[in-house]
Amino acid sequence: MAQVKSEIREYAESFVIAVLLALFIIFFVAQSFLVQGDSMEPSLHDGERLLVDKVTYRFRPPERGEIIVFSFPKDPRRKFIKRVIGVPGDIVEIRDRQLVINGVPIVEEYIRGPMYQPYGPITVPEGTVWVLGDNRNNSEDSRFPDVGPVPLNLIVGRALFVYWPLGEAGVISVPRVLADLK
């Protein structure tokens, strides 16, 4: 009988350790995120599952072109996913259906069509990033007052890779045009 109790205790301890380890990973290291909607098409699609890195931004701020998950400013229980377009001090505008950052027109081959509405210019405030969905004409992003420039403290993490569905699995890359912009 003592042998059975010992085995049960061992299983219980293993289970508790596994749960604590899983909670540590979810809260501090990485977590799964479900893409809902088409605001990030063609880069990400409705129903895809991503792994979100929660460590990187503890050591450096977000960079242009990275896709981030953040809490919606008006309701932090809701999570949004968008691409970082502007970092603090950048001047961002949409002019003649094209994104312009710091006076440089950006040729964006990763978006779903040109933008219809002009915007800005706006200078990205300190402590924030300016985000857009890749489906620019169907995205609630920094152009809208409910979102605006996203405070760094609302960022959950950086989208690293798609893991589901398996046919779409892969690393999420930063467009060279944004990575090279100074």
Block residue for tokens 């001047």: 91
What are the catalytic residues?
39, 82
Sequence-distant (≥ 6) Cβ neighbours of residue 167 within 8 angstroms: none
User: pLDDT tens digit string along 57-92?
Assistant: 999 999 999 999 999 988 988 999 999 999 999 999
d(CA 50, CA 169): 9
- pLDDT of 101 over the 90 cut: yes
Q: Where are the domains of the chain?
A: 31-179
Which class would CATH give 31-179?
A: mainly beta
Predicted TM-score of the model (pTM): 0.85
